[in-house]
Structure 1
């Protein structure tokens, strides 16, 4: 089994275009994803516009701060992001249990994810939230696919890093649930935690099929953010402005490092 390529973008000829993530070794570089997370349409528009001129391949719209707002407010913010973006948009509702700001029931989470999937180019799906849904994570991801979006299956642990076999089990579960891209992020307490994540990432390149985003969060794991395609990294997260997670580098720093790693 080899890593397959995934194209993110509803309309490759439209203003947001499309970006290929993953694929056989050397087929695509590690992509840079930059989050925007302002709580209102005007500040969101400013955040998205500020990305112009920076090395950004994908925009992650963090919907956390809006999750408790009225549907029409979320719709206005969504229209702003999709209208201003000049790169494909990954919509993410990061819940409190995985380090985010959204407090939603499993059904409320699934409902918002499905709504976003009808609009964004890709949507993050926390596979653990599938435990409380009929059909599990596979049903949640199927709703994303039915709406025409790419599904990023994800798992985040800010308390520490699981042993490598457990990390591999999580990646395998994301793939089996139908995720187009498998993502994991663990807090690193030291170099050995980094190695657990990196080893799992390199195994996954040929072990599961979907491209993998594997992040070891914090200072001890920072190198995972610039590991690049040679070490199995399909994409990484960087910042233009304030970071959204521990250990993030600026987009320009990441681009320079990846250019060296992938030369």
Structure 2
């Protein structure tokens, strides 16, 4: 089992999965309010879904806001522009401009991890990867399927593809249509966690997939997502409820 390490320190103390809360505010004040809402029981990681941000086309404002979030939160920040094809919001930026935004965030050290989709142009992935490495920022390569769940072998190939493209972390999220889809996701996550040299995160979305957000760590998933004020994907559990569930699982695991 491989925890996510940032600057040599394991996220969440090395326990799997570390817990991430997404921020989806439209402006800086809304984002900081989301940060404040989880300050009493902070997650291990915050994800800024910048595709929700109204001023995404203003690079200076994005970088400044990312720095404000990190300072206010006191925990690492994952910077994500999710594309429409993988469930994100429409943005007034061409893909080349998105890359330039990521590069600016990396140059200023305004995030700890950046998320790029495996399906992006390989040249764009390489450009962000190089910018992230130059600044000591981790690269997470992700794949999302909101329509269904590919077979476990295809999911495993996605994990492998992420590592081959230079990811420091590989993430997959799928939409199960039947219970066996959740098992396929967990099987692929477990195999990838045992085979690959990088940490992996696997989760199934929606009501059927909620169990994977709780027990994914038992199958090698290094990261799970919880709701602070607003969810960024279906099936995310409230932060406090997820923490309680993980405590129960971990207490039981001490007997093994």
**Offset at 1:84?**
1.0
Partner of 2:202: 214
State the alpha-carbon separation in 1 of the partners of residues 104 and 32 from structure 2. 20
Partner of 1:249: 237
2:104 matched to 1:106? no
State the alpha-carbon separation in 2 of the partners of residues 153 and 102 from structure 1. 20
> Does the 8 Å contact 2:59/2:101 carry over to 1?
no
Q: TM-score, normalised by structure 1?
A: 0.86
**Offset at 1:163?**
1.0
Alignment partner of 2:49 out of 38, 62, 65: 62
Deviation digits for residues 43-90 of structure 1, max 9, x if unmatched? 211111221112511111111123643223323322321221211111
**Offset at 1:239?**
0.8
Alignment partner of 1:32 out of 19, 27, 31: 19
- SS of residue paired to 2:194: helix
**Offset at 1:31?**
0.6
Change (3 A) 1:99 1:141: same
Q: TM-score, normalised by structure 2?
A: 0.88
Alignment of 1:1-263 (within 5 A): 3-8=1-6, 19-20=10-11, 28-66=15-53, 68-103=56-91, 104-118=93-107, 119-131=110-122, 133=123, 137-263=125-251
Partner of 2:254: none
State the alpha-carbon separation in 1 of the partners of residues 22 and 112 from structure 2. 14
> Does the 8 Å contact 1:33/1:60 carry over to 2?
yes
State the alpha-carbon separation in 2 of the partners of residues 206 and 262 from structure 1. 20
* RMSD between superposed Cα atoms in Å: 2.1
Change (3 A) 1:5 1:234: closer
Partner of 1:15: none
Runs of 4+ off more than 6 Å: none
> Does the 8 Å contact 2:46/2:75 carry over to 1?
yes
Change (3 A) 1:201 1:163: same
Deviation digits for residues 1-55 of structure 1, max 9, x if unmatched? xx5444226xx9xxxxx65369xxxx53311100112111112111112211125
**Offset at 1:143?**
2.5
Unaligned 5+ segments in structure 2 are 252-256
State the alpha-carbon separation in 2 of the partners of residues 53 and 233 from structure 1. 25
Q: If each structure's helix is expressed as a fraction of its own residues, which one has the higher value?
A: 2
Unaligned 5+ segments in structure 1 are 13-17
Q: Tell me how many residue pairs correspond in the alignment.
A: 247
